[in-house]
């Protein structure tokens, strides 16, 4: 008989998104994303971080202050990095697992790339205009989104 407690697809892909958050240097919110084809092949992963060449040590991680001195002008979102990290050409009808609901800017890009489903773990900015706009676009374009339902399984990675 096969092992009963193996990871289901959702757990596997959200697990990879979650592991990717560990690469983020953002002191307040670490985000991870994993793009998966319809037939469950991993296409790409990403996490929020500064653009190539923009040192994590020199660029600001502040949330407040003049926009020029906050992270918001510089940081690449996990979802955008996952899109940009993909080097293939077949993202159509894919799905994205993300630890945080996508903002309006990433949502535009996800729609344009042909992503058809978003599975998210957290929607802590649901009241913001950005996320409201994301849902407006997703609803209009027929892209579905659903909250990931966690299982009661702790995975410990000892490296």
Annotation: binding site: 77, 103, 106
Does 29 participate in binding ligand 5HC (rule CB under 6 A)?
A: yes
Q: Which of 77, 82, 94, 115 binds ligand 5HC (CB under 6 A)?
A: 77
Between CA 103 and CA 108 the distance in angstroms is: 9
Does 135 participate in binding Zn ion (rule CB under 5 A)?
A: no
Closer CB to Zn ion, residue 31 or residue 43? 31
Q: Is residue 119 within 8 Å of residue 143, measured between CB atoms?
A: no
Q: Is residue 118 within 8 Å of residue 143, measured between CB atoms?
A: yes
Closer CB to Zn ion, residue 59 or residue 125? 125
Does 95 participate in binding Zn ion (rule CB under 5 A)?
A: no
Does 132 participate in binding ligand 5HC (rule CB under 6 A)?
A: no
> Which residues, in sequence order, are CB contacts of 54 under 8 Å at separation 6+?
74
Name the one residue in this structure whose structure tokens are 């998210």: 120
Does 100 participate in binding ligand 5HC (rule CB under 6 A)?
A: yes
Q: Tell me, what DSSP letter sits at residue 49?
A: B
Q: Which of 71, 94, 96, 138 binds ligand 5HC (CB under 6 A)?
A: 71
């Amino acid at each position: 008989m096969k092992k009963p407690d193996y990871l289901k697809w959702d757990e596997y892909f959200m697990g990879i998104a979650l592991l990717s958050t560990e690469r983020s240097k953002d002191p307040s919110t670490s985000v991870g994303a994993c793009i998966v084809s319809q037939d469950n092949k991993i296409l790409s992963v990403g996490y929020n971080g500064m653009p190539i060449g923009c040192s994590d040590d020199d660029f600001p991680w502040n949330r407040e202050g003049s926009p020029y001195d906050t992270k918001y002008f510089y940081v690449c979102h996990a979802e955008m990095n996952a899109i940009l990290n993909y080097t293939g050409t077949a993202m159509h009808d894919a799905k994205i697992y993300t630890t945080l609901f996508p903002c309006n800017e990433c949502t535009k890009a996800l729609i344009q790339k042909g992503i058809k489903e978003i599975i998210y773990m957290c929607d802590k900015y649901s009241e913001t205009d950005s996320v409201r706009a994301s849902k407006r676009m997703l609803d209009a374009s027929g892209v579905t989104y659903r909250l990931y339902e966690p299982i009661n399984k702790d995975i410990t990675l000892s490296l």
